[in-house]
Amino acid sequence: MDFSGKTVAITGAASGIGLATAQAAASLGAQVVALDRDRGALETMREDYAGNDWPLTVVEVDIGSEASIRDAVEAIGASVASVDLLVNSAGIVSRGMFETTTAEEWQRVLSINLSGSFFCLQHMVPLLRAGTGRAAVNVASLAAKRVSYTGGVSYTAAKAGILGLTRHAAFELASDKIRVNAVCPGPVLTAMTQRAIPQEERQKVAAMVPLGDWLSPDDVAQAILFLGSPAARMITGTSLDIDGGLSLITGASFESYQRARQ
């Protein structure tokens, strides 16, 4: 893949999957626009990129607020002429159980994980139209099609919503040749999962995955960049599972499946 001359805007770029996508895109020649609410982590990124001589624009944003997104997109428009690929990776996890999830928690997760992706894409359309790449990739989750392991009901509902958003946006924006796709990662070892899953539980998670391991953020980044590249020219409105085969199992771990055959 070659992203020379392309501008890639990434939300949640300061950590995890977003950070890995930013790094992979930059190493393939892209100018990266990093959006995040974590100012300190954006500063660290700025230093790293300067050290590598990679072009970088950083924009602080809270994607839980449409006004903040509007300001961020305006700031991006003042520093780049177009965006070729938007990656919506920013997200949070919540652990509330179904019966105890409060209205506040429900709204917070929906507003960041679902509405945030909607407004980022909606406000970014003019910059995407001005580019030649014309692609967006939303980071959903295996939870969009199953049930979240780390998150609560609001997380599962928001991620399922991302797939609807992806299909609908893909359909409407096809007339502008803007492609919109989603990725559905299984368990990825990032700050989000390190916070939610204690060290002693992590081996059990790896054991549930048929390919026997956690995903790395770069495993997801490579799939995102594929969907955002000309190699995926005729792919739109779909989702790609990146889960080491986790969605293939039917409740039993691979170990117990093997045991049942001995």
Active site residues: 155
Closer residue to ligand NAD in complex, CB, 130/249? 249
Listed in sequence order, the DSSP H helices in the chain are 16-27, 39-52, 66-79, 103-110, 116-129, 153-173, 191-196, 199-208, 217-227, 254-259
Up-side HSE of residue 148: CA atoms within 13 Å toward CB? 25
Question: CA separation (Å) from 40 to 12, 163, 194, 219, 238?
Answer: 13, 31, 19, 25, 35
- Neighbour tally for 262: CB within 10 Å: 4
Q: How far is the CB of 176 from ligand NAD (least distance, A)?
A: 25
Q: Which residue has the tokens 């059990």?
A: 204
Q: How far is the CB of 220 from ligand NAD (least distance, A)?
A: 7
Residues in the site for ligand NAD, rule: CB under 6 A?
12, 14-18, 36-38, 41, 61-64, 89-92, 112, 139, 141, 185, 187-188, 190-193
Query: What is the helix (H) or strand (E) element at residue 86, kind and residue range?
Result: strand 85-88
Closer residue to ligand NAD in complex, CB, 15/236? 15
Closer residue to ligand NAD in complex, CB, 87/173? 87
Closer residue to ligand NAD in complex, CB, 129/145? 145
Q: Measured at CB, which residue is nearest to ligand NAD?
A: 16
Question: CA separation (Å) from 207 to 33, 235, 241, 251?
Answer: 36, 32, 18, 13
Q: How far is the CB of 63 from ligand NAD (least distance, A)?
A: 4
Least Cα distance to 64 among 11, 96, 108, 94 occurs for 108
Closer residue to ligand NAD in complex, CB, 204/233? 204
Q: How far is the CB of 211 from ligand NAD (least distance, A)?
A: 15
φ, ψ at 245 (rounded to 5°): 90, 5
